[in-house]
Amino acid sequence: LKKYYDYLIEIKVRKDNPAHFIKLRDAKQTAVQLQDLWTEKELKTLLEPRKERYAILAKRNQIILSLFVHQAVLVKEITQILLEDIDLDKAEIYIRETGMTNSRTLSLKAEQILLFYHYLQEDRPQLERTKQPYFILNKLGSPTTSDDINYLLSTYQKQYEKRLTSVKIRQSVITNLLSQGHNLRAVQL
Q: Estimate the crossing angle of helix 58-71 against helix 166-179, to 10 degrees.
A: 40
Work out the average pLDDT over 7-27.
Answer: 81
Confidence of residue 4 (pLDDT cuts 50, 70, 90): confident
What pLDDT does 29 receive?
Answer: 62
Residue 27 pLDDT class (50, 70, 90 cuts) = low
The answer to whether the CB of 164 falls within 8 A of the CB of 153 is yes
At a CB cut-off of 8 Å and minimum separation 6, what does 24 contact?
A: none
Per-residue pLDDT of 114-170, as tens digits, reads: 999 999 999 999 999 999 999 999 999 999 999 999 999 999 988 888 889 998 999
pLDDT on residue 26 = 60
- Domains detected in the chain: 35-188 (1.10.443.10)
32 secondary structure, DSSP code: -
| Per-residue pLDDT, 136 | 96
Q: In what order do the strands lie in the sheet with 86-87?
A: 86-87, 92-95, 104-107
pLDDT at 59 over 80: yes
**Total-model pTM:** 0.80
Residue type, 176: N
In whole angstroms, what is the distance from residue 171 CA to residue 185 CA?
A: 16
**Residue type, position 10, single letter:** E
